[in-house]
Amino acid sequence: MSVTAFLNAQLICPVAGPSAGGLLVRDGAIAATGGFAVPEGAAVVDCGGLALAPGIVDLGVFRVDRRAFRAGGIVRVALMPDQSPPLDDPGMVQRASLVGKPDLWIHPIAAATRGLRGEELAELAFCRSAGARAAGTGARWIADSGVMRRVLHYARDLDLTVITHAEDAGLTHGAVATEGETATRLGLPAAPALAEALAVARDLLLAEETGARLHLRQVTTAAALDLVRAAKRRGVRVTCGITPAHLLLSDIAVSDFRTFAHLSPPLRDEGDRRACLAAVADGTIDVLCSGHHPHGPEAKRLPFADSEAGMAGAETLLALALGLVRDGHLTPARLFAMLARHPAQVLGLDTGTLEVGKPADLLLFDADAPWRIDAERHEGLAGNTPFDGLPVQGRARRLWKGGREVL
């Protein structure tokens, strides 16, 4: 039996809220919180007054990047089906789910359709048995409503959430920016922001009709967020997420053709950005994720329209998220609900809190530690961050998965 006592910590639990005290871990699970007698022979971790919170569950990463995840305080990731080959085969799903253990748990999102082509349903039942925790459309939208309806029916019967990319491909094909003054001035191929609301509206109606659980991986426009709010009021089983980039940056960030700001979905105008911040504050947005998609120079040192979309977001997720707390948009408990508890619930995982009996996936961090984001010094596979050069506060200091320290 292994026993570890974490003492002198500021506990941040998404359920119980913040408190000062300690936490006792026995055999990989939380055994007590607050005040308790330290058992004889227990290992002791003096937290030095730092914050102790659930380890981050990052919902929707495109690459397994252990060093980046460790630096960002991430202990579990939901791996997008957009791999090579796509995760539409039980063998591929099983291999993906075993790669990171014991330090990193990978929860594959199975491709909803074969090859992510949006035509023929994948064998989701077999993929679920192999370790898939959700079904997903990947970085694409399923244009055929009949196929999407069958996906939702199938996933409902398997008790799997369907994770979708919400942009109408008929409007976004070939686009790299959002229509508006910035895209026009730069001469970039652009699509209207309405493409997101159209996709969201269709998927919400199908989810409501089928009774399936739907997670919109990123919702970034005011019109789409209004649709999500209305659907939640009607009882539709829908959740949605966003990245820090879409909360903190507008399409002005691409004004110098900086390809690190070439994202999918693209950055929106200032009105939509502010609407997203309001949706975080009022609880419409459930999940804050990194969208981690590292690209090297061969993919980013190109003309903007030819570069690959995506950012390296894992290492900066915690620091940027803590900025939302300092700016008054979130409480610490609500932040870790978005970073840990809600993503775990989408995946059907009983973790993401500091409650007794839950897995001891723990993050010790210094919320006030200052540092500057430097793309050239990223720990992970690549440093393609649109926040290069930004001063931030908040560093992960130590990380535990199931009570075992991740080094």
The predicted pLDDT at position 268 comes to 98
Please check whether residue 38 lies inside any domain of the structure.
Answer: no
Please check whether residue 7 lies inside any domain of the structure.
Answer: no
Cα–Cα distance measured from residue 401 to residue 2, given in angstroms and rounded to the nearest whole number: 14
For residue 297, give both structure tokens.
């120079």
pLDDT of 1 above 90: no
Please check whether residue 46 lies inside any domain of the structure.
Answer: no
What domain range includes position 272? 55-393
What's the structural domain count of the chain? 1
Helices 222-234 and 194-210: angle between axes, nearest 10 degrees: 10
Greatest CA span in the chain, whole angstroms?
A: 69
pLDDT in tens, 129-158: 999 999 999 999 999 999 999 999 999 999
Residue 103, domain CATH = 3.20.20.140
Please check whether residue 167 lies inside any domain of the structure.
Answer: yes
β-strand partners of 226: none
Cα–Cα distance measured from residue 18 to residue 30, given in angstroms and rounded to the nearest whole number: 16
Please check whether residue 11 lies inside any domain of the structure.
Answer: no
Cα-based torsion angle of the residue sequence 222, 228, 234, 238 in order, rounded to the nearest 10 degrees: -170
Please check whether residue 330 lies inside any domain of the structure.
Answer: yes
Please check whether residue 357 lies inside any domain of the structure.
Answer: yes
Phi (first) and psi of residue 233, to 5 degrees: -65, -30
In this prediction the pTM is 0.96
Please check whether residue 400 lies inside any domain of the structure.
Answer: no
3-state secondary structure 321-346: HHHHHHCCCCCHHHHHHHHHHHHHHH
- From the list 393, 362, 325, 288, the residue with the least C-alpha distance to 51 is 362
pLDDT in tens, 50-97: 999 999 999 999 999 999 999 999 999 999 999 999 999 999 999 999
The predicted pLDDT at position 101 comes to 87
For residue 352, give every residue at least 6 positions away whose Cβ sits within 8 Å of its Cβ, in sequence order, or none: 14, 54, 57, 336, 337, 340, 341, 342, 343, 344, 345, 358, 361
Neighbouring CB atoms inside 10 A of 64's CB total 17
**pLDDT classification of 100: cutoffs 50, 70, 90:** confident
